[in-house]
């Protein structure tokens, strides 16, 4: 079983080029990580590919923090396992 949390943090780090120390559970994408909408879309696309899931646009707008994204993806991955 893959560690969803770790894999998502690796994708965020690789895609955004941010240090591990700023990728905290409560970190917000737009304020704390300095993500713009294009960066966020690229992160989502990479996560969708990595976990073979689809994250609807209406859900994406609600995923404001790292933990919210991890929790959502974990639910999707384990629900379909």
Question: How high is the pLDDT of residue 2?
Answer: 64
- Give dist(CA 59, CA 69) in Å, integer: 10
Taking the whole predicted model, whether its pTM rises above 0.85 is answered as yes
Tokens representing 50 are 């990595």
What CATH number does the domain located at 4-79 have? 1.10.1200.10
Does residue 25 have an active-site annotation?
no
Q: Which of 19, 31, 36, 52 is catalytic?
A: 36
pLDDT tens sequence across 33-81: 999 999 999 999 999 999 999 999 999 999 999 999 999 999 999 886 6
């Amino acid at each position: 079983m893959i560690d969803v949390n770790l894999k998502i943090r690796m994708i965020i780090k690789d895609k955004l080029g941010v240090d591990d120390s700023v990728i905290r559970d409560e970190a917000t994408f737009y304020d704390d990580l300095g993500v713009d909408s294009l960066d966020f879309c690229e992160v989502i696309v990479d996560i969708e590919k990595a976990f073979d899931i689809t994250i609807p646009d209406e859900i994406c707008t609600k995923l404001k923090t790292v933990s919210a994204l991890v929790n959502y993806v974990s639910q999707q991955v384990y629900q379909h396992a």
